[in-house]
Each structure stands twice: as C-alpha cells, then as structure tokens.
Amino acid sequence: MQVSEKMSSTERRATISLASIYGLRMLGMFLILPIFAIYAQTLEGGQDHTMVGLALGAYGLTQVLLQLPFGIASDKYGRKKVIYIGMLIFIIGSVVAAMGTDIITVIIGRAIQGAGAVSAVVMALVADSTREEHRTKAMATIGGTIGVTFALSLVAGPLLNQSIGVPGIFWMTAILSAFAIGVVKFLVPDPIQSQFHSDAETAPTKIKEVIRNTQLLRLNFGAFSLHAAQMAMFVVVPFALKETSGMNENQHWIVYLPVLTISFVLMLPAIIYGEKRAKLKPVFIGAVATMLFAQLMFAVNIHSFWGVVTALFFYFLAFNLLEATLPSLISKLAPAASKGTAIGVHNTAQSFGIFVGAVFGGYLAGSYGFSSVFIFCSILMGIWLVAALGMKTPPSVKTKMYHVESLNENEAGVLKAEVEKMVGVEEVAVLAQESTLIVKINNQQTVEVQIAIEQNILKLIGR
C-alpha cells in the first residue's frame, strides 16, 4: 500500500496554525531591527551604543538559557500548556518594552520576550500533529516562516514606525500574541498522542555527541557568526543609511525592498543547482565567501550611500543562501537518530550569536567607529570560510520517515539490517520507543530505484 502523498486536513490545519504562531513570534523580534538603533537615541541612556546592542540582542541570551528547559517541560506537562505560558511571558516582555522610556527598561522587556522560548515546543507540537511521512514537509513549512518574517520585517518595520512608532510596534506584538494563544487553543488540533521525537526535539543525552561532531561544529560556528553579523549590522546600518541618504528611518524600506527582492530571485537558482546536482558544498562556500566580501564592503564604504546599498545586496544574497542551506546541511550531516538534537544545538548557536553580535557590535560602534564593527564581522567570516573549506562533502540524500508497529530491540535490529542491505540506502535508524524508522536515501539514484526502495521498505514494515 502506498503512503498517502497528501497531508490530512488536520495535519494541514496544525501546520499552518503553528507556522503562523512561529512566524508571529519571530515578527515580534524582527520588526524593530531596522529602526530601533535610531529610536533608542530618544530613550534615557539610549545614546550608548553598547546599551542599544544589548537591547537588540537581550532576547538571544534568554532564549539560549530557556529553550531546552521549555522543551523538557512540554514533554512533561503538555505542549499547549507550555506554549500558553511562553506566549504570556512574551506578551509581558512586549508590554514592558512598549512602556519603557529608558534603555534599561527596554532591555528588560526584550529579555523577557526571549524568555518565552516556545520555538522548540512549537516544533515538538508539529511533530505530535503530523505523521512521520509528512513531518519533514511540515517542519520545512515552519522553518520557512523565519526567512519570510525577516524579509517582511525590514519593509514593514519602517512603515509601521511611521504610523505607530516603536512603542506601538511592541503593543501590536503583545495584542497579536494574545490572539495567537487563541489560535493555539481553538485552531490547533489536540494531538492524539504526545511523545518525544528524536527528529524534532533535543535529547539532553545526545548533546555531547552532537557537540563533538566536527562537521556539525563547523556549521554551528557558522550559525553563530551569521547571526552575530546580522545583529551587529543593525546597530550601524540604520545610522549609515540616514546619514548618507538623507532619508529618515521610516523611508529605509525603499532601500530594503528592492535589495531583498533581487537578492532572493538570484539566490533561488543557486539553491536548486546545489540540491539537484549535489553541489551544495561549493554553493555553501561561495555564499560564505560572498558574506565575507559584503562585510569588507561595509567596512570600506560605510560612509557612502551606494557603497552601503551594494554591500546590503551582497549581504542579503549571501544571507538568504546560508539561511536556506544551513538547515539542509544539518539534516544531511547529522546522525539520523540525533537530528532533533543537532537542530537544537544549531538554534542555540544562532541565539547566542544574536546576543554576542548585538552587544559586541554596539560596543565597537561606540568605541572605535562603525567600520570596526564590520572588521570584526569580517574576521568571523574569514574563520568560517576556512572552516567551511575543510568541511566534508555532504551526502546527496533525502530523509524519509515511516511509522512502524511496536518493536522490541531484536526486531528493530533485524529491520535496520534489512533496510541497510538495499542499494541506494545511505543510513538507517530504527527508534523502537518512538515507533519510527528513519532512512536516508541517495538522491542521485534514478526515480525508479528510489520508488523501489520505498516499496521494499513498505513491504518490510507490513504496509
């Protein structure tokens, strides 16, 4: 019997609803990025660039500290309950930031926002709500909201600032988050069964194994560097655009929109080429090199309008490529049974990069000038480029997951051995406690061979 190609209506509803929750939370974090550094000048103590950086990056630190505890709590007390608590914390942080008239209060508000660290819990609820065969698709939908939300924020932030200001954006975020709780309550279906999922959640016992994996370590350093540079940039670029163009911060979307659009269009062929032709490593290295070039351009041309615009184009071209390829590389290089842990460690590296980049970028901007920020970012990118050059060529594989009936350890071992014998199968993991079979299939095999592999697997598991 063939596995259904389509998600059920319940799976689609869960995926779309949770993607909206995930995206909304990211929107609340990102909307202020293109305008906050300039707004901070109106706050008491906001003339200190280090404090501005801390306000931008504070949420990253609290996410680092609380992502894993929230995930563990959701396994014990239930996904939805923990999401409600996390969203309430996020609302409180938004209100505190909205009411702040000094930079310290806004820092506290941003830290509280980050403390509502429900991203991992949302992913776990997605796993609970979808069958194994469709989970990768659902996860990709959720993950895709990050890039869309970031791009939307760069355009919407300045436009919203013009009408409601930064405090209004915080208030809007709080109100929308309250509605989001209702969405979780009434629109997200209650999962039939809630359990731990190795492909979607962090297993504390596997963290050491993932951290010691040198291939994943290169990618995690890259995630740290990429997001550190992202936050450091937004301490400086709003001022640079205002000073070199004469436009106020409410008009900066005029720059961001075309640059983002063109860079996104040019990024797509590179992604398709990398995935279809098994050339992901050279595409990835090229993106890191482009990011290094963009940082050097910022450092040299930060006082030139067209220099900043050109640097932004190369920055977003590289950023979009790297944001798209990093999760794919994690999936390909991580052990099949530890994918969720690898993603969790990767996300933690991102969040820590957000904090370090914002704070250190603010300090450098205030102490040594704008160019020093991008010299710092160039050093990070240079180190990353060297690390990427030594990276193992990722296997060209696609991951398939199947539900299996309850197996004991001996039966799981037999099933694993049988699937491993199939030509074109690169890796197999049987998670007996989760009733899940994970198979990495060589993507360079013919379509006929791939179909035959899946049909043989279905026969083995009695479907």
What is the mean predicted confidence (pLDDT) over 375-400?
95
Whether 396 and 444 have beta carbons less than 8 Å apart is answered as: yes
Residue 36 CA to residue 172 CA, distance in Å, equals: 16
Residue 403: HSE in the Cβ half-sphere, 13 Å Cα cutoff: 12
Q: CA 97, 253, 101 angle in degrees (round to 5)?
A: 20
Mean pLDDT of 319-324: 92
Q: Which residue has the tokens 């049974």?
A: 337
User: What is the C-alpha to C-alpha distance for residues 91 and 28, in angstroms, rounded to an integer?
Assistant: 10
pLDDT at 442 over 50: yes
Higher pLDDT, 431 or 133: 431
β-bridge mates for residue 438, sequence order: 401, 429
User: In the prediction, which pLDDT does 5 show?
Assistant: 61
Q: Which pTM was predicted? A: 0.93
User: Among 186-195, 206-215, 340-349, 355-364, which is the least confidently predicted range?
Assistant: 186-195
Q: Is the pLDDT of residue 50 over 60?
A: yes
Percentage of the chain lying above the pLDDT 70 cut: 99
Ordered by where they begin, the domains of the chain are: 8-190 (1.20.1250.20), 210-394 (1.20.1250.20), 397-460 (3.30.70.100)
pLDDT at 2 exceeding the cut of 50: no
Q: Which residue pairs, CB below 8 angstroms and at least 24 apart, start in 252-255?
A: 252/34, 252/35, 252/158, 253/34, 253/154, 253/155, 253/156, 253/157, 253/158, 253/159, 255/309, 255/312
pLDDT, tens only, 354-363 = 999 999 999 9
**Average per-residue pLDDT in the chain?**
92
Confidence of residue 1 (pLDDT cuts 50, 70, 90): very low
Give residue 382's pLDDT. Answer: 98
Question: Is a pLDDT exceeding 90 seen at residue 137?
Answer: no
- The Cα 127–Cα 419 span in angstroms is 24
78: region left, alpha or beta (phi > 0 left; psi from -120 to 50 alpha): left
Please give the pLDDT value at position 409.
Answer: 85
- Distance in angstroms (rounded) separating the CA atoms of residues 179 and 181: 5
Q: What is the mean pLDDT of residues 434-458?
A: 90
Residue 414: other Cβ atoms inside 10 A:
14
pLDDT, one tens digit per residue, over 338-357 is 999 999 999 999 999 999 99
As a whole number of angstroms, the distance between CA 135 and CA 169 comes to 33
